[in-house]
């Protein structure tokens, strides 16, 4: 009898532990695994020492966007972005607060790279730069056209590095290029803040560097992601840190189809081999 | 009588000048910080000296120190954030990340760093008020060098001229020598510096003003056959001129905004 009571108690404890596991992130994890989602985000708190600087130099006749060597020695990050997944279709667009901002549209085997900028107060999409400015057409490349590493980056692509770092605990493991320097996140805890929003925390450790991510929810809707990592010396002093706060304008399981076609004004000039009869 | 009027006028002018000086809040210029990867180039010292010299010459600012304050607000802010993380260690070890994520590091009202601080955001009042107290200043001017670099490019006008205008002209006139015509190609080499200035209220740490300036300086050569290999060299003299140009632009912009009541 006592043994049965103990078994029931243990089973009950297991149930309680399971119910405190991350639950709200699951729908987002599933959306990424099923490749059906729309993410629109803004990077609110940029990591320390990273700024976006794009130099613009006006020559005598031509307006030039001159991209000097990385001015901080670190990577530039976007101010905001859009990322859409729909099966084997993908779209990403970044706002780097610069002249031309990168866009990628993937439709099956075809990968289109183009840009957006602001001209006369209007957003427009353009192709590669040429002697007369920018082309109004794009030509798709295929995975086979790319070097091996670039091809892998396209296949396992979940947006910019900023977005990937923020979503890392939720990304499907078979679609992420693994390497030992990537943190292995585990769920830590969940809770509710005084303003009524809830959160779920994940953390990881690699050597002397600690990583943590907090996902914020209003109800079941994910609204914000905060990430931090810091490195300590042998005495436990923090010697370096980096953090970012991403505000989610949208994170839904419905792909926004308007982004999954070439934008108006851009023509597809891809030469395709005719199928043999 | 005339002498008396002259004396009175002089006294009045002196009084007005001293009153104008007293109306400008006491302010210090912090040494420029360098956000670029070119850390070995001694630009912050040079720019700081140039800007303070121009502000002093204007007589518009009540600068309590005639030299830039050699203290890095950027580093102080970074160190403060590091200490916050350090202080959260015990809670982190217990799986409680609230002091980490709900502390000042993620407060959108607080500036991440000097170089990303927006007008209205707060830069650590503990740090800025200490600097203000130590120097008798109510405001701090903080400059940041955010970009430096150079580039070379070529405007290919000759080929266009040859292809379009000259070919048509040659075809119409049957004069083959016109095919060698067309505008010269232009090769330009330029240096660029981008800086920002912020004014911070010492007691509150609030950013009350922001100004950005980008300046370029360069040389060009023209010719039918010039390529980027022919680009002219830019000497340190040109770079000093560029820094002078940047400091001038920043200072004049600041003075103009002060005169228009946009700062205080």
Chain B residues whose CB is inside 8 A of the A245 CB are 106, 108
Which structural domain, as residue segments, surrounds residue B59? 25-259
**Phi and psi (nearest 5°) for A28?**
-75, -35
CATH number at residue B240: 3.40.50.10610
Chain B residues whose CB is inside 8 A of the A57 CB are 151, 190, 192, 216
Q: Do B192 and A237 touch (CB under 8 A)?
A: no
Q: Does A200 touch chain B (CB under 8 A)?
A: no
Helix count and strand count (H, E) for chain A: 4, 18
The residue among B34, B75, B100, B215 with the most chain A CBs within 10 A of its CB, best to mutate, is B100
Residue B10 included in any domain: no
Domains of chain B: total: 1
* Distance, C-alpha A169 to centroid of its chain: 12
The residue among A42, A50, A51, A130 with the most chain B CBs within 10 A of its CB, best to mutate, is A51
Q: Which residues pair with residue A262 across a beta bridge? A: none
Look at residue A76 in the predicted model and tell me its pLDDT: 60
Look at residue A72 in the predicted model and tell me its pLDDT: 40
Tell me the per-residue pLDDT of B65-110, one tens digit each, with 9 for 90 and over: 999 999 888 888 888 888 888 899 889 999 999 999 998 878 878 8
Q: Closest partner residue to B97 among A55, A214, A230, by Cβ?
A: A214
The residue among B116, B160, B184, B228 with the most chain A CBs within 10 A of its CB, best to mutate, is B116
**Which long-range contacts link A61-65 to residues 24+ away (Cβ below 8 Å)?**
A61/B155, A62/B155, A64/B153, A65/A98, A65/A99, A65/A100
B7 pLDDT more than 90: no
Tell me the per-residue pLDDT of A97-117, one tens digit each, with 9 for 90 and over: 767 789 999 998 899 999 998
Cα–Cα dist A145/B162, whole Å: 35
Look at residue B136 in the predicted model and tell me its pLDDT: 95
In Å, how far are A236, B103, B108 from A231, measured between CA atoms? 9, 19, 23
Look at residue A146 in the predicted model and tell me its pLDDT: 79
Residue B87 included in any domain: yes
Look at residue A73 in the predicted model and tell me its pLDDT: 41
Q: What is the mean pLDDT of chain B?
A: 82
Residue B8 included in any domain: no
Q: Do A60 and B105 touch (CB under 8 A)?
A: no
pLDDT confidence band for A74 (50 / 70 / 90): very low
Look at residue B34 in the predicted model and tell me its pLDDT: 83
Chain B residues whose CB is inside 8 A of the A45 CB are 106, 108, 112
pLDDT confidence band for A224 (50 / 70 / 90): very high
Q: Do B149 and A55 touch (CB under 8 A)?
A: yes
Residue B118 included in any domain: yes
B18 pLDDT more than 50: no
pLDDT confidence band for B233 (50 / 70 / 90): confident
Return the number of other C-beta atoms located less than 10 Å from residue A50's C-beta.
21
Q: What is the mean pLDDT of residues B142-154?
A: 80
Global pTM reads: 0.73
Residue B107 included in any domain: yes
Q: What is the DSSP string of A130-167?
A: ETTEE-SEE--EEGGGS-HHHHHHHHT--S-HHHHHHH
Look at residue A19 in the predicted model and tell me its pLDDT: 39
pLDDT confidence band for A178 (50 / 70 / 90): low
Q: What is the mean pLDDT of residues B214-229?
A: 79
């Amino acid at each position: 009898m006592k043994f049965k009571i103990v078994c029931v108690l243990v089973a009950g404890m297991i149930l309680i532990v399971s119910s405190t596991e991350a639950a709200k992130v699951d729908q987002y994890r599933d959306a990424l695994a099923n490749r059906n989602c729309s993410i629109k985000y803004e990077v609110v708190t940029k990591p320390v020492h990273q700024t976006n600087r794009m130099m613009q130099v006006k020559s005598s006749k031509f307006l030039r966007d001159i991209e000097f060597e990385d001015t901080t020695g670190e990577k530039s990050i976007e101010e905001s972005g859009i990322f859409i997944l729909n099966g084997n279709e993908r779209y990403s667009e970044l706002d780097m607060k610069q002249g031309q901002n990168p866009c990628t549209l993937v439709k099956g085997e075809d990968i289109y790279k183009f840009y957006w900028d602001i001209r006369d107060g209007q957003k427009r999409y353009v192709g590669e730069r040429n002697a007369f400015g920018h082309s109004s057409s794009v030509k798709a490349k295929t995975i086979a056209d790319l070097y091996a590493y670039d091809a892998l980056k396209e296949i396992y692509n979940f947006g910019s590095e900023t977005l990937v770092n923020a979503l890392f605990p939720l990304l499907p493991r078979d679609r992420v290029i693994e390497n030992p320097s990537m943190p292995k996140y585990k769920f830590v805890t969940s809770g509710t803040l005084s303003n009524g929003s809830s959160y779920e925390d994940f953390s990881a450790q690699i050597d002397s560097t600690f990583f943590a991510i907090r996902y914020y929810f209003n109800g079941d809707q994910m609204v914000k992601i905060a990430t931090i990592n810091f490195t300590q010396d042998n005495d436990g002093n923090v010697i370096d840190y980096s953090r970012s706060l991403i505000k989610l304008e949208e994170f839904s399981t419905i792909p926004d189809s308007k982004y999954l076609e070439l934008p108006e004004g851009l023509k597809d000039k891809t030469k395709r081999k005719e199928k043999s009869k | 009588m005339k002498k008396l009027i002259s004396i009175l006028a002089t006294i009045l002018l002196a009084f007005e000048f001293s009153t104008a000086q007293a109306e400008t809040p006491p302010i210090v210029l912090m040494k420029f910080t360098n956000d670029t990867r070119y850390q070995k180039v001694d630009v912050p010292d040079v720019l700081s000296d140039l800007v303070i010299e121009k502000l002093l010459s204007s007589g518009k600012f009540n600068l309590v120190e005639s030299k830039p304050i050699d203290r890095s607000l950027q580093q102080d802010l970074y160190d403060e954030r590091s200490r916050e993380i350090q202080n959260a260690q015990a809670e982190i070890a217990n799986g409680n990340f609230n002091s980490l994520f709900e502390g000042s590091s993620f407060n959108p009202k607080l500036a991440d760093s000097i170089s990303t601080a927006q007008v209205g955001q707060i830069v650590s009042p503990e740090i800025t008020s200490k600097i203000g107290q130590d120097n008798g200043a109510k405001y701090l001017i903080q400059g940041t060098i955010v970009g430096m670099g150079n580039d070379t490019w070529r405007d290919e006008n000759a080929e266009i001229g040859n292809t379009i205008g000259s070919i048509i002209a040659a075809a119409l006139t049957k004069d083959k020598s016109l095919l060698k015509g067309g505008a010269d190609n232009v090769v330009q080499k330029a240096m660029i510096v981008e800086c920002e200035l912020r004014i911070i209220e010492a007691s509150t740490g609030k950013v009350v003003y922001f100004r950005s300036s980008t300046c370029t300086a360069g040389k060009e050569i023209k010719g039918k056959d010039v390529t980027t290999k022919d680009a002219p060299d830019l000497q340190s003299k040109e770079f000093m001129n560029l820094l002078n140009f940047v400091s001038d632009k920043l200072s004049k912009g600041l003075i103009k905004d002060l005169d228009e009541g946009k700062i205080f």
